[in-house]
């Protein structure tokens, strides 16, 4: 089925208008994501930890718990956190303005009621000033309309990224949502090991153990302040920062070490899907050619 491409399907997403909600939501997703980390066996490049875009929000997918399975979903249509088990039990509580501490307490209580308590490292990661979940009264915002718009953006981006990844026959990740960095990503692999990463910790050592080219979307967190699509290579081949990339609005951000295409530039285009796909393909080609990837063996004909 051909995917429709219209501006109306890509809603506006201005960081300054919903940053408080996004920062709170990032911490809530970390609580749910850490449950997935605790319950699911380690997969290469930490593929056991992300969330996935669903028809109503973001889901853990089924997680093993003893002889049964547990799924938890952020429902951004009716604004509830939903719990479902393979034994037929279900529970939920509203997504509304509440502190991280209150969310965490309700979350643990719901797991206990379901008979599925989970031990986790109860402090956020990849944020500037981490506050233990049980103590965080600072982050307490939830704009339901903004959360819904964010999910609609993830839906559109997820579909384009899936189309993009279908062109690759080498090792490629699912399109998944990393709750630590709060971004949607898909990663391609050359099939070669990467040299040891200087200063790598346990997380980055596993994540970048092989040569990769990764692309995705993030809403502007981490101090960037604007929603954007990105592409980077690790390790970055020499000369990548000088590669000419179309569309002309795309640029290489030397501070980030990544190609960037602002979300607003995609939304304003006559065909946002096509502009985004062109950015993904051209940045990948530039990085893969400079890094000497065997593209003939790794790619399929786009037709």
Pairwise CA distance, residues 303 & 215, whole Å: 21
pTM attached to this predicted model:
0.93
Residue 155 and residue 277 in one domain: yes
Model confidence pLDDT, tens digit, residues 123-153:
999 999 999 999 999 999 999 999 999 999 9
Single residue among 103, 135, 167 that ends a domain in this structure? 135
Q: What is the pLDDT at residue 127?
A: 93
Give the count of domains, the chain. 2
Most confident of 44-53, 176-185, 248-257: 176-185
Residue 89 and residue 185 in one domain: no
Residue 197 and residue 289 in one domain: yes
Residue 216 and residue 281 in one domain: yes
Single residue among 135, 166, 193 that ends a domain in this structure? 135
Pairwise CA distance, residues 199 & 217, whole Å: 25
Model confidence pLDDT, tens digit, residues 13-43:
999 999 999 999 999 999 999 999 999 998 8
Residue 80 and residue 174 in one domain: no
Work out the pLDDT band at 84, boundaries 50, 70, 90: very high
Residue 173 and residue 220 in one domain: yes
Residue 156 and residue 76 in one domain: no
| Nearest alpha carbon to residue 53 among 153, 164, 154, 128 | 154
Judged against a pLDDT cut of 60, whether residue 298 lies above it is answered with yes
Model confidence pLDDT, tens digit, residues 257-270:
999 999 999 999 99
- Report the range of poorest mean pLDDT among 77-81, 125-129, 286-290: 125-129
Residue 279 and residue 163 in one domain: yes
Residue 235 and residue 119 in one domain: no
Mean pLDDT of the chain: 93
Residue 203 and residue 281 in one domain: yes
| Nearest alpha carbon to residue 100 among 126, 116, 122 | 122
Q: What is the pLDDT at residue 8?
A: 62
Work out the pLDDT band at 52, boundaries 50, 70, 90: very high
Residue 218 and residue 107 in one domain: no
Full domain range(s) for residue 48: 13-135
Residue 230 and residue 98 in one domain: no
């Amino acid at each position: 089925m051909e995917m429709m491409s219209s501006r109306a399907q890509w809603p506006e997403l201005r960081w300054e208008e919903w940053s408080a909600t996004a920062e709170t939501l990032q911490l809530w997703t970390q609580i749910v994501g850490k449950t997935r980390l605790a319950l699911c066996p380690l997969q290469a490049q930490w593929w056991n930890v992300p969330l996935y875009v669903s028809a109503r929000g973001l889901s853990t997918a089924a997680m093993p718990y003893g002889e049964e399975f547990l799924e938890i979903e952020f429902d951004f249509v009716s604004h509830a956190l939903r719990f479902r088990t393979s034994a037929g039990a279900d529970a939920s509580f509203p997504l509304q303005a509440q502190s991280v501490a209150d969310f965490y307490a309700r979350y643990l209580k719901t797991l206990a009621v379901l008979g599925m308590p989970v031990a986790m490292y109860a402090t956020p990661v990849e944020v500037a000033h981490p506050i233990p979940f049980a103590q965080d009264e600072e982050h307490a915002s939830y704009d339901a309309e903004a959360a819904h718009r964010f999910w609609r953006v993830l839906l559109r981006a997820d579909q384009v990224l899936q189309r993009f990844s279908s062109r690759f026959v080498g090792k490629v990740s699912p399109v998944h949502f990393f709750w630590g960095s709060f971004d949607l990503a898909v990663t391609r692999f050359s099939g070669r090991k990467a040299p040891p990463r200087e200063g790598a910790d346990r997380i980055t050592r596993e994540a970048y153990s092989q040569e990769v080219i990764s692309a995705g979307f993030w809403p502007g967190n981490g101090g960037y302040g604007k929603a954007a699509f990105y592409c980077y290579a690790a390790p970055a081949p020499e000369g990548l920062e000088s590669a000419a990339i179309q569309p002309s609005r795309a640029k290489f951000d030397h501070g980030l070490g990544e190609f960037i295409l602002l979300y607003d530039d995609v939304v304003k285009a006559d065909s946002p899907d096509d502009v985004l796909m062109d950015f993904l393909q051209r940045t990948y080609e530039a990085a893969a050619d400079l890094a000497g990837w065997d593209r003939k063996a790794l790619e399929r004909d786009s037709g």
